Amino acid sequence: MAGVTGVIATSVSHRMAEFGVRMALGTSRDRLLGQVIVQGLTLVVSGLAIGTLASVLLTRVLSAYLFETTSRDPVTLVSVAALFLIAGVLACLGPAWRATTANPLVALRTE
């Protein structure tokens, strides 16, 4: 969660002028918030896909570390993926909210 927050926060800080220009041209705060969250969730979903694939491929190795569950238990896989997805959304909210505070006047002056 900290890694996703860091990556998105860095991306937002580098793009603050762009966000200010977008807001000056009429983009709503909700749309801007959604764009940043989608950018972060793209990273989260990619990581979930790679992690799920790796866990399925490495079932023999993982089975030694699992207790009272199988290595391909669908309930466990879906539950963990859902928790990571929720954590990813929460990790993206802070930087996304910061993107909506871009001042269009400052952004236009820097351009």
Q: How do residues 54-78 score in pLDDT, each as one tens digit?
A: 888 888 787 777 777 776 788 888 9
* Domain membership flag for residue 56: yes
Residue 59 structural domain:
35-106
Q: Whole-angstrom Cα distance, residue 32 to residue 77?
A: 32
DSSP secondary structure code for residue 66 in this structure? -
Domain membership of residue 78 (yes or no) is yes
| 15 contacts 99 by C-beta, under 8 angstroms | yes
Residue 93 placed within a domain? yes
Q: Please, are residues 10 and 98 in contact by the beta-carbon 8 Å criterion?
A: no
pLDDT computed for residue 46 by the predictor: 94
What tens digit of pLDDT does each residue of 4-56 get?
Answer: 888 888 988 888 888 888 888 888 999 999 999 998 899 899 999 998 888 88
Residue 8 in domain: no
CA distance 22 to 34: 13
Q: Does residue 4 form part of some domain?
A: no
72 in a structural domain: yes
Is residue 82 included in any domain, yes or no?
Answer: yes
Domain count of the fold of the chain: 1
> Is residue 15 assigned to a domain?
no
